[in-house]
Structure 1
Amino acid sequence: MTLRGKPTMADVARHAGVSLKTVSRVVNQEPHVSAALQRRVQESIGALGFRRNEAASRLARGASMLTLGLVMENISNEFYSRLAKSVEAAAAEHEALVVFGSYEERAERERMLIESMYARGVDSLIIVPSGADHSWLAEYGGLTSVFVDRVPPGLDGADVVMLDDAHGGRVATEHLLARGHRRVALISDDERLSSVHDRALGYRAALRDAGLTLDESLVVREVFDPWRAAHEVGRLLDLPDPPTAFFATNNRAAIGILQALRDRPERPAYVGFDDFALADVFNPGVTVVRYDTSRLATSAVDLLLHPASPEAGTPRRVRVPVELVVRGSGEIPPA
């Protein structure tokens, strides 16, 4: 069966040899369709590549145009700007609009943004949560939310799309250890965030498995800006027994390492978590733990538009894989 343009429900009905109403019932998860018919329709959907038009479905039910909300930490950070672009692209596949706002690392602003969107009829939200308690969200009936990058504190039953953070922290540290480094410093963010916590967990696990004792004096926490990371890197390099390598748990910390080393004679190795523009332009290029941001976004939109049934009982957790990208900075041997 050859189609021009996007396949429709009528195309699915013809392919499956069933009525249009049957296809509609299967697509909209209505009852009274036998298992055999459901299977036949789903096979035709898969064969044709049909995707439900969420906007048209809502309009047919008398609802307004589908609008998704995206609440994130800081749009000026490259990770969040990439995420916003990817969420817009994924939502466009469903002919949905996206409105977004950033809370600038302030939990009270995050709550204000969520409440404001909800009050304006945006009841489907993708949220990159702060480290504050989110149990208050359970009070909002009719609100559908999916969390990205982090598990929201106080909402253990939430649907979350996250990275394989612990594995990323482990492979980054193991990469440095394999080059002969034994004093590897950690430049970290807020470890109340599950993503940051898990990256640090991977770092500690790699040291432990290598038979090394963690030196807490080489662990820096609560670093949110490149200038602060640069200051801490300089401080560590001035120690009597300085680190010979660094693992940065986010792109801001990696940029801070670059800033710190600009005017120093030392050349420690370093690996960052999160890729960023120009990372491959520096000499040496910045070795990073990278992932597919579009996969994060697509997974979040899919979970949001296909909520789990109340009987499901367990939260849905999608873990996006990460990979180490070798560019030179992580391959520098100890001095």
Structure 2
Amino acid sequence: MPRIPTMNDVAREARVSLKTVSRHVNGATNIDPELAARISAAIVKLGYRRNLSAASIRPGRTSRTIGLVISDLANPYYSTLAGAVESVADAAGYLVTIASSNEEGPRHDRLVDRLMEQRVDGLIVVPPQHPARDWSEVASPIPPLVFLDRPTPYEGADTVLADNGGGAREATSALCRAGARRIAYVGDSPGIHTMRERHAGYAAALAAAGIRVAESLVITTAHTREQARRAVGALLRDGSADAVFAANNRATIGALLAFRQAGRRLPLIGFDDFETALLGSPPVSVVSQDIELMGRTAAELMIARLNGDGSEFVTRVFPTRLVLRGSEKPDPEEGR
């Protein structure tokens, strides 16, 4: 493997001092033009690249990098969040390093430690389902920190959330108004904050309608769309449910796959909009949260902290919006 050229190599090639090369690569403009031209030519000839990781260790220097730890980049929800964070960070001159915890606490902790070792200027984090340690146990200094999508008990950070409980309550109430009484809840583990909040909203809407929650209709093991498909398929076969509230986009897609396989559908509302929701017949009704706004807000809070904002930490909770497109209603063909 060829040796990576260093600043010393550039200095020798350009026949200038190491200090002059250092000043040039760090943006100094008061260098003799002839020396600057020789240094630039040497950099091109040798293929030298500045070592930002090393530079960030020096007093007063930063890496101009923000670490973003999410749950699963393959999930469109998190890829949208990441894209929104990147757009704000890029405009402010920061690079975003993205990593996925896959909901694993130990992996999440390793990623956080690795990013801190690489001297990121700040961290935006989606806390994992099962944290392996408390943030109070993380060795200082902890860079500016923003929690996104889920809160934690740690008080030294800003937090950006959606109103998960309110959105689920509104969706379940809409299914009740459409005539459903045996509404299934299909979602991921209640160990995830958003799932707990959405289940609580679901239960609150049923209570307000005078309907008892049937535990046989509460499915909290649908981590993938395939698991959701199997769960909803079983509900269709035994006839125990007359509607479905899908607590995330993968559960919604799983439900749609089950409907297609069975050749019939149940009234359905899903949490989180998705690109193909409009392609169904009828289109899928959803609880829509402004994912891009959440990502942008998290990044804006981070940039403000990096620019010296020392105000009290805040928690921003954004409202959701119920978008009814027809799938919340019974199939007019059913029962004919």
Residue pair 1:146, 1:300 contacting (<8 A) in 2 also: yes
Residue pair 1:181, 1:333 contacting (<8 A) in 2 also: no
Alpha carbons of structure 1 residues 123 and 290: separation in structure 2 relative to 1, 3 Å: same
Match of 1:190 in 2: 189
1:148 and 2:166 correspond: no
Alpha carbons of structure 1 residues 70 and 97: separation in structure 2 relative to 1, 3 Å: same
Match of 1:243 in 2: 241
Distance, in Å, in 1 between the alignment partners of 2:215 and 2:303 is 44
Match of 2:284 in 1: 286
Give deviations 1:181-216, integer Å, cap 9, x for gaps.
001000011212221111111100000000111111
Match of 2:180 in 1: 181
Residue pair 1:146, 1:304 contacting (<8 A) in 2 also: yes
Distance, in Å, in 1 between the alignment partners of 2:168 and 2:248 is 11
Structure of larger gyration radius? 2
Q: Which amino acid aligns with 1:298?
A: R
Q: Which amino acid aligns with 1:149?
A: D
* 1:150-229 alignment, distance < 5 Å: 150-152=150-152, 154-155=153-154, 158-229=157-228
**1:221 Cα deviation after fit:** 0.6
Match of 1:276 in 2: 274
TM-score by length of structure 1 reads 0.76
Distance, in Å, in 2 between the alignment partners of 1:147 and 1:78 is 19
TM-score by length of structure 2 reads 0.76
Distance, in Å, in 2 between the alignment partners of 1:260 and 1:311 is 50
Give deviations 1:117-168, integer Å, cap 9, x for gaps.
111101411111112236532233232211111113x536642100011110
Q: What is the DSSP-based 3-state SS (H/G/I as helix, E as strand, rest coil) of the residue aligned with 1:262? A: helix
Distance, in Å, in 2 between the alignment partners of 1:277 and 1:265 is 23
> Structure 2 regions of 5+ residues with no counterpart?
1-55
Q: CA RMSD in A?
A: 2.1
* 1:65-80 alignment, distance < 5 Å: 65-80=63-78
**1:310 Cα deviation after fit:** 7.4
**1:306 Cα deviation after fit:** 3.1
Distance, in Å, in 2 between the alignment partners of 1:235 and 1:116 is 43
Residue pair 2:165, 2:200 contacting (<8 A) in 1 also: yes
* 1:276-315 alignment, distance < 5 Å: 276-307=274-305, 312=312, 315=313
| Residue of 104, 112, 115 corresponding to 1:114 | 112
Residue pair 1:134, 1:155 contacting (<8 A) in 2 also: no
Match of 1:230 in 2: 229
Identity of aligned residues (%): 35
Q: What is the DSSP-based 3-state SS (H/G/I as helix, E as strand, rest coil) of the residue aligned with 1:331? A: coil
Distance, in Å, in 1 between the alignment partners of 2:294 and 2:314 is 14
Distance, in Å, in 2 between the alignment partners of 1:333 and 1:71 is 41
Distance, in Å, in 1 between the alignment partners of 2:212 and 2:290 is 33
Residue pair 2:181, 2:242 contacting (<8 A) in 1 also: yes
Distance, in Å, in 2 between the alignment partners of 1:267 and 1:277 is 20
> Structure 1 regions of 5+ residues with no counterpart?
1-57
Q: What is the DSSP-based 3-state SS (H/G/I as helix, E as strand, rest coil) of the residue aligned with 1:231? A: helix
**1:303 Cα deviation after fit:** 2.1
